[in-house]
Amino acid sequence: MRFQMMLREIQKTKLAMSNEASEAFFSLTQAQYAAGDFRTKVIESVSTAEIRTLNRIDNVAGVKLPVFTEVEVSREKSDNIGLAGGGGKIQNCREKFRILLRALIKLASLQTSFVTLDEALKVTNRRVNALDNVTIPHIEQTIAYIVRELDELEREDFVRIKKVQANKLDKAKEELAKKKEAAAAHEAAQALLSPSSVSAAAAAHGSSVFDDPFADVVASDRDILAQFEPATDADVLF
């Protein structure tokens, strides 16, 4: 926006300055026709510049633009110029060139600011192009690579967790099977030692054997003290 406004102002100032320049040089021709060649007298009467420029910096969006302003220091007295004739024309010529000088200072300020702003815009455009074509694609590729690596790590963790869960499940099944086997063995042992199992065994082998533990000895007429006879045991003394 500021760039376009400055461009329009430069165009407007140039058009106005062309008219002012033509008027100034036409007034110079009139003054020379009326008073003759007075340039030598003007140069001799001027010791210092009447108008000087003051430079200041205008900051526009971080861009430092130089701005020139006119400062009128002093006005030299040149009343003796044109006394012989053409004094009015000389003063008119002087004012016309003063107006032209102001227009030149304004145009110089606008064009300097315009060139500075144009260079800043070019640098900004180059940086934007570098960001769009180099930096941002590189960052996007890096982000895509990181996302792929994270997805791969997530899949590996998922497979690892599933494997650990499967191992835990198999181990739990094995422990449960062992517990069932131990419980079955314990139940079988309890069943063998229970009174009902003993009664069943007695019924199968005859009730006398389980009622009298010495019934088989009595029935066989075997001498149970024969093993303790002195003839059979040399260590026994009577």
Residue 149 has pLDDT above 60, yes or no: yes
In eight-state DSSP terms, residue 1 is -
The rounded distance, in Å, linking the Cα atoms of 186 and 204 is 24
* Burial classification of residue 192, based on how many CB atoms lie within 10 Å of its CB (0-12 exposed, 13-18 middle, 19 or more buried): exposed
- Let me know if residue 227 belongs to a domain: no
Percent of the chain with pLDDT over 90: 9
- Looking at 27-156, which runs of residues are DSSP E strands? 51-60, 63-72
pLDDT, greater one: 209 or 125? 125
Residue 2: alpha-carbon gap to chain centroid: 32
pLDDT, greater one: 56 or 216? 56
The model's pTM is 0.53
The total number of structural domains that make up the chain: 1
Tell me what pLDDT residue 208 has: 46
Question: CATH no. for residue 124?
Answer: 1.10.287.3240
Question: Hey, what are 91's tokens?
Answer: 């003063």
Instruction: Using alpha carbons, select from 101, 114, 94 the residue that is nearest to residue 17.
Output: 101
- Let me know if residue 115 belongs to a domain: yes
Residue 148 has pLDDT above 90, yes or no: yes
Mean pLDDT across 89-94:
81
Range of weakest confidence among 55-59, 73-77, 188-192: 73-77
Strand partners, 53: 70
Question: Hey, what are 50's tokens?
Answer: 């009447």
pLDDT in tens, 6-56: 778 888 888 888 888 888 888 888 887 777 777 777 777 777 777 788 888
- Let me know if residue 105 belongs to a domain: yes
- Let me know if residue 148 belongs to a domain: no
236: left (phi over 0), alpha (psi -120 to 50) or beta: beta
Tell me what pLDDT residue 177 has: 87
Mean pLDDT across 93-102:
86
| Per-chain mean pLDDT for the chain | 77
The rounded distance, in Å, linking the Cα atoms of 2 and 61 is 10
- Let me know if residue 73 belongs to a domain: yes
The residue with tokens 């007295």 is 77
- Let me know if residue 132 belongs to a domain: yes
Instruction: Using alpha carbons, select from 96, 106, 119 the residue that is nearest to residue 9.
Output: 106
Instruction: Using alpha carbons, select from 46, 22, 45, 42 the residue that is nearest to residue 32.
Output: 42
- Let me know if residue 232 belongs to a domain: no
Tell me what pLDDT residue 209 has: 42
- Let me know if residue 210 belongs to a domain: no
The rounded distance, in Å, linking the Cα atoms of 121 and 58 is 16
Task: Tell me which residue range forms the domain holding 90.
Answer: 1-138
Amino acid in the structure at residue 153:
L
